[in-house]
Structure 1
Amino acid sequence: MSLRPEFIDTRVERRLAELAQHAYTIHVPLSDWHVTPDRPDYIAPFSPAADIPPGPDVPPGAVPPDATLGSFADPGAPVYLPPALTRTVWCRTAVTIPDALNGRPVWLLLHTNAEGLLYVDGQPWQGLDENHPAVHLTPSGEPGRTFRLDVMLYTGRHRRPTSLSGALVSPDEAIQAYRHDLRAVLGAVRTRPSADTLSIRLRQSLRASLDRIDFHTRQGTVDVTEAARRLRQHLHDLRRRHGTPDVDVYLVGNAHIDVAWLWTLAETRHKMARTTATALRLMERYPAFRFAQSQAQLYAFLKEDVPDLFEQVRARVAEGRWEIVGAMWVEPDCNVTGGESLIRQILHGQRFWREHFGCESDVLWLPDTFGYAWALPQIARKSGLRHFVTQKLSWSETNPFPHSHFDWIGVDGSRLRTTFAQAYWVRVTPEDIAALYDRTPSKDTVPALLYPYGYGDGGGGPVPEDVELATRLQEMPGFPRCHLTRAHEALEAIRTTADAVRDTFRHPIPSWQGELYLEFHRGTLTTHARVKRANRTSERRLRAAEIWATLAAVHAGAAYPADALDAAWKHVLLNQFHDILPGTSIPPVYDEAHRRYEEVRHTTTRIIDDALAARCRPAGPDTFTVFNALGWSVTDWVTCSLPVDAVPADGPFHLVDGDGRPVPHQILHRDADGLHVGLEVTVPALGATVLHVRPGPGPAYPPLAGDGLRLDNGLFRLTFDEAGHLTSLYDHARDREWLRRPGNLFQTFDDRPNNWEAWDLNDWYERTPLDLFRCERLEITERGPVRTVLRLVFTSPHGSRIEQDVILYRTLPRIDFLAQVDWQEERTLLKVAFPLAVHSTRATYEIQFGAIERPTTRNTSWEAARFEVCGHSWTDLSEGHAGMSLLNDSIYGHDIHDGVMRLTLLRNPSFPDPRRPHPSFLFPDQEIRFTDHGRHLFRYALYPHDGDWRSGTVAQAHAFNQPLHVVSGAVPDCRNAADVSPAAVVLETLKRAEDGRGWILRVYEAHGGRHRARVRLPFAIEQAEAVDLMERLASEEGPVTLHDGTLGFDLAPYEIRTFRVWPAS
């Protein structure tokens, strides 16, 4: 009867609870805490102040009945502070070791419902939170020694009171070790069928051991010596008889730290310090403990904030116990982030590792990012990375991903060995290990599990119990082999096992081609639209700044602003963290993010202005120059301001280019600064076009046709109805109607996901449409020889307003839409729809360094789950000999189904961004509002074309995103232009090399074909060599030839090529 499994298991649990009461002896309760005044800001110093006030400003009060101060006996009078949001306070006390602890290990138990960093005698010692209360103070007590204790407490964003209590204690190490033994065996046996032989023997061992506990010693303590000895002997015998299954579990200590989320960057810096101190203390106690921490940005914070901890980390890295894992600057969003930014994430991350630790990481470590672009395998492999680790696809809500160990094949054919952990912060328990291994799909390929353990999101990391159980599970009979190891060693072991299974059993390693789409968190493509616009704008401005700074340095000898560009890039990279750019953080995070974007704007403006000025010489006010930062000739609309003295006071004037050819223009408005005009201009690749103002009349250009409901530029005829709908888009050249039914529809839907409001967009939104907007006004606001603008104004009952300009140009083959939105809705989704007369089962979307085709059908659960997908600057739907591309300059959420192309413009969830009371968070003294209330700007365009998107969409989209730049009163000294061919080759980057040796040119193939490419830059090249994305010589990249200053090289479909070039002297 006593062998019934549940009886024995319950008995073990009861004994564990009883033994916990004897695990520590409290010797000195901590009291007399002195507390600094509350600080209402977000930033606190990282060292305890010497002049903490002599008494608490908030007297310790009665502990509220719902407060949790730990599971041990009264640990002393607590510090009890009233609710205070996002405050950092210092608490100080001192404790003296009593005679009773002479030569014994001494610990502190510090219980708090906040987060804190403990300083001992002024030195950062260990992080504190609800999961990390136990602090090892010294292995051998010295009576009379006094320790000064300072705790930096962060109250968080909760309504609850903040408490801190503690005691100086001495552990009963025999009882603690025995408790770990019992917990490990009980957990392991529960993972097995209760009737199998080993399970029976393990429970018999537990029963026999419990029978030997002596609860009646003369000293009033509990003696577990014989009980522990007997249990360990039984386990040794059972392991010898039963062995272990052929399964490997790689236990990697880690702490996932969100760079920002429900806290600001300042608090993240504190979290890094706390987590680091805790991990370092564990390393002192457990020689086998290994710890992996990602994100160079966090280490940069640590180096600045707590240099002592940073130096301790450097020492542990050198001895191989602390692992630098993850090659990137932060763990970024991988959907919205641009391709060049992904490269810079690795470039800056690896540079930091080299400079400060003398090593690099060969792992792309992205456990918590919301989906993974198809470009990542190529970027990783060409950056020297061998492994990719995530677990996020286990969150998919529709289709379980079929592999856990596989080769991910990128858009260009690159292969990246990928390992899916099944979680990224868990405790070390037999039950969790078994459960996660059971749901691992690739057991036939690799019978292994990568198991990153330790508290995460807000950091914290492993606790001593994790390491204690891990060491016991290494010897547990019948349990998978457990290894305390580093991530790199685990991944290499998994790779070796997979290769051996392939070679021995001819069992191929699974592969996956295409993006790794997360069937969850689709709303992150849209939430916080202003941040997404700022990111796209910053990326394009940085690209232009680097190009113009390079040409200024080569042509004019100007100093290259490397430090300023480096700082600007780091602002952008930081903002691309996977809870900032996706729009899933609290309001103060976005206040900070936009301040960083504003710094980027100022920096790039100054760099561009200085660089172009260095390349120009002064000219009269009647001259201006237009520059083009793209690698092909661009014809586009620009505006410029002509000073008062540049145009005749009363008489007519006209514009001509540098060859004297007239250029059509139209006057936009006149003010005190002069005359503002708009025109279409053609500018060569990486070149300039000079324009002059000439007095007297020029050729007469009639205005484009248009009335209140119809616009016509000879290329397209647009017809609107009184409701503001585009009822017809007729293409004169192709003699076809592009719309199947009215388009330019602003569609609204009730948007209330089950949970994770800022993250999720559920498919049932389509079943809850809201017909909110009515057209209030429709009028032509501008009509001239270069463009016509039709303005439509829509309003909603709740005060939202959309002011949209529809623009037709003289010769540009696209229709522009510019929407200024003042959004006042709540939990409402806004899309704009264009139902096309195009039938195709496939649509194409731009991604980083290429394009991806996706089905427009929903025939399978895999297709249906992708009802909202990511696209960058263009999407396309084509049939037969023609198609339609939809361009944009900052929009990422798309859906194309049944011929309807839609952009998702706005959604405004409540959590975590409400400026109002919320069940979990409190935002006092702020207006009630939802995410993305207020003003927004959206630009998108329709581009009809012959053939498919390869006929011109890429060039049109890049021109739409990289505006021409106008410099007044100057002409360039050097008018050399670039020549890049064929049209499928995109010149992405031109910058100074990171090491200062030469200049870096990066191009990619954008059409999915093979080409012999040729690139001539605006300066003569004397020498060139192929390098990888980290700017290292790369012979495997294929040869590059140099003939008359022109580079020649081969490009495979969607391939990225990078070269180091030296200009001719």
Structure 2
Amino acid sequence: MHITDSLTIERAQRVLRERIAPAVYSQTAPLTVEEQRLSGEPIPFDKALEGTFQPHAPGSAWGAAWGTTWFRITGAVPAEWSGRTVEAVIDLGFDTRMAGFQCEGLVHRPDGTAVKALNPDNQWVRIADAARGGESVELYIEAAANPVILDRDHRFAPTDEGDVHTSSPALIYTTRRIELAVFEREVWDLLLDLEVLLELVVELPVEPRRAKILQALDDSLDALHLQDIPGTAAAARAALGPVLAMPASASAHDILAVGHSHIDSAWLWPLRETRRKVARTTSSMLSLLETDEDFVYSMSSAQQFDWIRKERPELWGRITRAVADGRFIPVGGMWVESDTVMPSGESLARQFLYGQRFFDREFGERSRGVWLPDSFGYSPALPQLIRRAGFDWFFTQKISWNQTNRFPHHTFEWEGIDGSRVLTHFSPMDTYASTLAGDELAKASRQFAESRVANESIAPVGYGDGGGGTTREMLGRAARLSDLEGSPRVRWASPDELYARAAEVGTLPVWVGELYLEMHRATLTTHHQMKWGNRRAEERLLEAELWAATAALRVGADYPYDELDELWETVLLHQFHDILPGTSIAWVHREARERYAEVLGRADAIIDEALGRLVGEGDQRIQVNPTPFAIHATPPGGGAADSATTDAAATTLVRRDSSFVLDNGVIRVVIDQSGHIASAVDLRAGRDIIPAGTVANRLRLYQDFPNKWDAWDIDEFYRNAEHEIGEVEHIEADVTNATAGVFVRRRISDSSTVEQRLSLAPGERVLQIEQTVEWHETEKLLKIAFPLDIHADSSVAETQFGYVRRPTHTNTSWDAARFETSMHRYVLIEEPGFGAAVVNDSSYGFDVTREPGEHGSVSCLRISLLRAPRYPDPLTDQGTHTHRLGLVVGADIAAATRHGYLINAHDRVRTGERGFDPLVEIVGDGLVVSSVKLAADRSGALIVRVYESLGRRSRGHLRARFAVASAHEASLIEDVGAPVEQDESGVILDLAPFEVRTLRLSPIAEM
């Protein structure tokens, strides 16, 4: 850069900062400020009016953490301001570097209608476009004193401020400027002109265009009188006019700007506060929509719309009108922006069902694409589910956060485990909170990977995470960047436009498999109680649907549609990508634990009611099991019992030397004096899965202090500091339960212990490990290790409706970066014809390494159990935790699938007069019934979801054990499709590998 160029830029930056920005508001007049502090939860506007307001002098402290203060602001526009644009300028004590992470306010008129939000980048309220002079001013501000959990560099520190139960009562904010002011539009326009050109010139190479802009900057500043900015702003703008009027080149990159605010449904604030953040943000966006005819705004998450519908009717009416006009765009089609790695396949189906059903019911339209800018990796099952739910496209940008490898595409086809493809776009800006700054635009143009075949990318424009959305400054930038030489062209548009044109491109690149995020791997483990609660709630709601549907069709019981909807919506909300991953403040997790307990209790009540109706009154012992591998209700009403336990040999437990030997005729397990698994032999194959000289069930403790994001990250160097938990305090044979076992108690540290019961059921090939950990560690990671004498090039881990294979080697940087990966109910390590699996009831993170053995490499599988990060929740994982694991000896995918289901569900025993038949039965290798429920449209039809679990083509039948009037295909969200083929054995099922099918069976109505 030439020295004179640098001087011009420095000159313009200083004048802009020190003279022009302060001159946007010229004359000022005082306002009278009063306050009403609330001691508890927020109250609505009408209740606030009933309270007592006290004088508040700007410069005074207000707001304890998580408290609410209502401010009343009154005054009058000076008569001499007639014809001028007047605004109230209100600074509640903002730090302009931290939008969304501190105090905020919502401005109301005296009639209670919301006007707009106040936040660090929105400190104004329009009073009059052209004042008459003398107008009275009366505004009410609901101000939230949300504490700053992040520091100014967006770093964390352990804090007690993350829960209202532990936060300080001290006042944490101080009001500053609260006054009326004349808004100088010409000065504001000059400010934006200069900002856009300064940012552009920094990005431009040395060329004539750059020189012309630099000269225009000098000319503009020469025309500006620093002691009369308002009076000379027009002349200064005139000097910039010619360079701002130069059009973009024909080949310039096109950016479709989408107004946006990625509002985390919970994170550094509780759900209660998110509801207010949504109201604040939408009020401001509606105001912008009403003043700028080009602007369009998008919002995801049906849950957030529903909060507005229920709590802010005056905003809701404006939103529905804006949606009808195509200006306020519902995107995503999900209940919330969910995590997509840990929720079950059924949960993802319900995210789409409840999201699209809401948009359809309230707006008469559905989202065409799935919008997930900030989730922590994306399951390879998603493409099929997206397409089967009726969506056309998928959007994110989060993979740009990869630590190691740069993702090679921006517009591409994403192929899932079943071969389904979905058109996908990543924003090349690498942000979901664009401000349309020059460096963002240049980055998008420079990085866009598909420039040979396409020319458009999306920019989600607006402050996010903590809300705020698009600002009028961003609208001003967009207007200047719509056709500007040296810059990409910017225009406001619906994201559907990009995908419509991308679909017309001939050949796009294809990415096959999961979109693995090389970051935030610890979210699979952090806050085990979130994982345990989610898994239990998913399992229990599916069971409640099954038995309630059975009772409805068998004995005419009422199906609890409303209650099941409410419970599912609660579970879906808590699958938000900062709740289920365990990365929120303590308040969020405390409430989530309470909600999970409530869901489980209410689901159990539905189950008890349904089973009571089904078995009737009596004293016969009726045993029921909801899993697809053991659906039964015996005796005496039929339904197959779990054949694997029929006529099985009893398990023997023998003390041999210092070891315990468990033998049930299928496998033989030796547990040594340290409680480790010294041997696990498949008696049919004559093969021990434990490598010679090693033991399994080894608990290992690691130092866990990632470089940046405590609750989010496991960094690879954690393996360098490993401590094995070997000391046994107590070990003994345990024959008190129905299955023989061994009890072991170990001490992890002075304050943490672990107790295990290792048991073997008759006739089964799974050694169960029931574990209770009293955990009081700091910055530690607990894993359980299973060395396996199996040479495997890949691991097989269950994902939604199938599994994913991942290399166990580190040949490439992509392989090496997957040092912690996800599973659902099982991980299988196999050679051709033989394998072993570990199944679990509440874990999602694991790793596999290859280690030297006697005859080539062996595999070591480690399941991640607990962590102890200190922020944002300093009490993460502290307390008592239970895990159920199972080591399946001699396993294949079918066995791993079966035992994964069984360890997550339990037989229920009732007394009654009769058993009952299951509603449906399925025949065919690898075919699994995922859910049985009544249709969401409340027609009384039965919805049955089936999937192929083995990764190969399978043919079979679904037999309904009730009178069926008609059988149809359905979409994942239960839209009725074509009739299905049937024969004398039932509905014919011919499924491709991992194919998911939804069937709708309408019963014959009773006469």
TM-score between both structures, scaled by the size of structure 2: 0.91
The answer to whether 1:903 aligns with 2:863 is: yes
Distance 1:1045 1:95, change over 3 A: farther
Contact 1:883 1:944 in 2 (8 A): yes
CA shift in 2, pair 1:243/1:657, >3 Å: closer
Is it true that 1:119 corresponds to 2:108 in the alignment?
yes
Give 1:754's match in structure 2, choosing from 694, 707, 711. Answer: 707
Deviations for 1:717-772, whole angstroms, at most 9, x for unmatched residues? 22222222221112222211110111110011010001110000011111011244
Q: Which amino acid aligns with 2:83?
A: G
Alignment of 1:873-912 (within 5 A): 873-898=825-850, 899-912=859-872
Matched residue, 1:811: 763
Aligned match for 2:138, one of 148, 152, 166: 148
CA 1:832–1:138 in 2, change beyond 3 Å: closer, same or farther? same
**1:319-370 CA distances to partner (integer Å, 9 max, x unpaired)?**
1111111110000111111111001101111111111111111111000100
Residue 108 and residue 611 in structure 1: after superposition, are their counterparts in 2 closer, same or farther (change >3 A)?
A: same
Q: Is the 1:373–1:847 Cα contact (8 Å) retained in structure 2?
A: yes
Is 1:982 the counterpart of 2:935? The answer is no
Deviations 1:834-865 (A, max 9, x none): 10111111111100011111111112111111
Q: For 1:258, which of 238, 248, 264 is the aligned residue?
A: 264
Matched, 1:136 2:129: no
Q: Is the 8 A contact 2:66 2:147 kept in 1?
A: yes
In structure 2, the residue corresponding to 1:618 is in which secondary structure?
coil
Question: Which secondary structure state, in structure 2, belongs to the residue aligned with residue 205 of structure 1?
Answer: helix
Shift of residue 53 of structure 1?
1.7
Amino acid at match of 1:808: L
C-alpha contact (below 8 Å) 2:615/2:622 kept by paired residues: no
Match of 1:483 in 2: 491
Contact 1:1023 1:1042 in 2 (8 A): no
What is the 5 A alignment of 1:449-528?
Answer: 449-496=457-504, 499=505, 502=506, 508-528=507-527
From the superposition, tell whether residues 550 and 804 of structure 1 become closer, same or farther in structure 2 (CA, over 3 Å): same
Single out whichever of 748-757 and 277-286 deviates more from structure 2: 277-286
1:424 Cα deviation after fit: 0.1
Question: What's the counterpart of residue 6 of structure 1?
Answer: 6
SS in 2 for 1:4: helix
Q: 1:16 to 1:754 in 2, by over 3 A?
A: same
Deviation at 1:494, TM superposition (A): 4.0
- Once the two structures are superposed, the pairs formed by residues 896-1045 of structure 1 within 5 Å of their partners are 896-898=848-850, 899-914=859-874, 930-945=875-890, 948-950=892-894, 952-972=895-915, 974-975=916-917, 978-997=920-939, 998-1035=941-978, 1040-1044=980-984
| Corresponding residue to 2:200 among 179, 188, 191 | 188
Cα distance per residue 1:590-622 (max 9 Å; x no partner): 1211222122112211111111121223222xx
Distance 1:10 1:720, change over 3 A: same
Q: Given the superposition, is the C-alpha separation of residues 511 and 312 from structure 1 closer, same or farther in structure 2, using an over 3 Å criterion?
A: same
Q: How far has the Cα of 1:306 moved from its partner?
A: 1.3
The match for 2:414 among 408, 416, 419 is 408
* 1:514 CA displacement: 0.4
Confirm or deny: 8 A CA contact 2:635 2:914 kept in the other structure. no
1:653-802 paired onto structure 2 within 5 Å: 658=636, 684=640, 704-707=652-655, 709-740=660-691, 741-782=694-735, 787-802=739-754
Tell me how far apart the structure 2 counterparts of residues 23 and 89 of structure 1 sit (CA, whole Å). Answer: 29
Asked if 1:1055 is matched to 2:995, the reply is yes
Does 2:811 match 1:859?
A: yes
1:385 alignment partner in structure 2: 391
Answer whether contact 2:413 2:511 (CA < 8 A) is retained: yes
Cα distance in structure 1, aligned partners of 2:748 and 2:872: 25
Give 3-state SS (helix, strand or coil) of 1:211's partner.
helix
The answer for the alignment partner of 2:154 in structure 1 is none
**CA distance in 1: counterparts of 2:31 and 2:943, whole angstroms:** 61
Q: CA deviation at 1:464?
A: 1.0
AA aligned to 2:889 is: P
CA drift of 1:47 comes to: 5.2
More moved, 90-99 vs 753-762 = 90-99
Question: In the alignment, which residue of structure 2 is the partner of 1:538?
Answer: 537
Give the structure 1 partner of residue 50 of structure 2: 51
Question: 2:431 is matched with which residue?
Answer: 423
Alpha-carbon distance in structure 1 between the residues aligned to 2:240 and 2:849:
64
Q: Is the 8 A contact 2:457 2:498 kept in 1?
A: no
Task: Report the CA distance between 1:317 and its aligned residue.
Answer: 1.1
Deviations 1:512-550 (A, max 9, x none): 110000000000000111111111111111111111111
Q: Which runs of 5+ in 2 are unaligned?
A: 95-102, 149-169, 851-858
- Show the counterpart of 2:23: 22
User: 1:225 — aligned with what?
Assistant: 234
Contact conserved, 1:244 with 1:478, CA < 8 A, in 2?
Answer: no
- Partners of 1:402 and 1:884 lie apart in 2 by 35
Q: Distance in 2 between matches of 1:702 and 1:345?
A: 44
For 1:671, the equivalent position in structure 2 comes to none
Tell me the distance in 1 between the aligned counterparts of 2:293 and 2:690: 69
Cα gap change, 1:293 to 1:47, in 2 (>3 Å): farther
> Identity, % of aligned pairs?
34
Q: CA deviation at 1:215?
A: 4.9
Give the structure 1 partner of residue 152 of structure 2: none
- Structure 1, unmatched stretches of 5+, are 61-76, 503-507, 639-655, 660-681, 692-698, 915-929
Provide, for residues 981-1019 of structure 1, a one-character-per-residue CA deviation record: whole Å limited to 9, x for no partner.
Answer: 213111111111111222211111111111222001232
Q: Which residue among 619, 624, 629 is the counterpart of 2:621? A: 624
Following TM superposition, by how much is the alpha carbon of 1:231 offset from its aligned partner in structure 2, in angstroms?
2.2
Q: Paired residue for 2:189?
A: 177
Classify the secondary structure of the residue corresponding to 1:36. Answer: strand
- Superposed displacement of residue 284, structure 1: 2.4
Cα RMSD between the aligned structures? Answer: 2.4
Letter paired with 1:881: G
Work out whether residues 685 and 979 of structure 1, in 8 Å CA contact, stay in contact via their aligned partners in 2: no
Q: How many Å separate the matches in 2 of 1:982 and 1:309?
A: 53
Residue 558 of structure 1 aligns with an amino acid whose one-letter code is: A
How far does the alpha carbon of each residue in 1:757-796 deviate from its partner, in whole angstroms, 9 at most, with x for none?
0000011111011244511111012167x52021000113
C-alpha spacing 1:683/1:993, structure 2 compared with 1 (3 Å): closer
Query: CA distance change for structure 1 residues 590 and 213 in 2, over 3 Å: closer, same or farther?
Result: same
Question: How big is the shift at 1:145?
Answer: 2.3
Is residue 341 of structure 1 aligned with residue 362 of structure 2? no
Contact 1:185 1:476 in 2 (8 A): no
**AA of the residue aligned to 2:132:** E
Partner residue, 2:361: 355
Distance 1:216 1:589 in 2: 52
Kept in 1, the 8 Å contact 2:667–2:889? The answer is: no
Please say which of residues 578-587 and 44-53 is displaced more in the overlay.
Answer: 44-53
Match of 2:986 in 1: 1046
Q: Secondary structure at the match of 2:23?
A: coil
Alignment partners' CA distance in 2, 1:80 and 1:108? 20
CA distance in 2, matches of 1:1010, 1:361: 32
TM superposition shift of 1:272: 0.5
User: What pairs with 1:615-654 in structure 2 (closer than 5 Å)?
Assistant: 615-620=614-619, 623-633=620-630
| 3-state secondary structure, aligned to 1:552 | helix
Cα 1:345–1:864 shift into 2, 3 Å: same
Q: How many residues align?
A: 955
Which range moved further: 795-804 or 5-14?
5-14
SS in 1 for 2:570: helix
Counterpart in 2 of 1:211? 222
After superposition, the Cα gap between the structure-2 partners of 1:833 and 1:316, relative to the gap in structure 1 and judged at 3 Å, is same
Which residue matches 1:927?
A: none
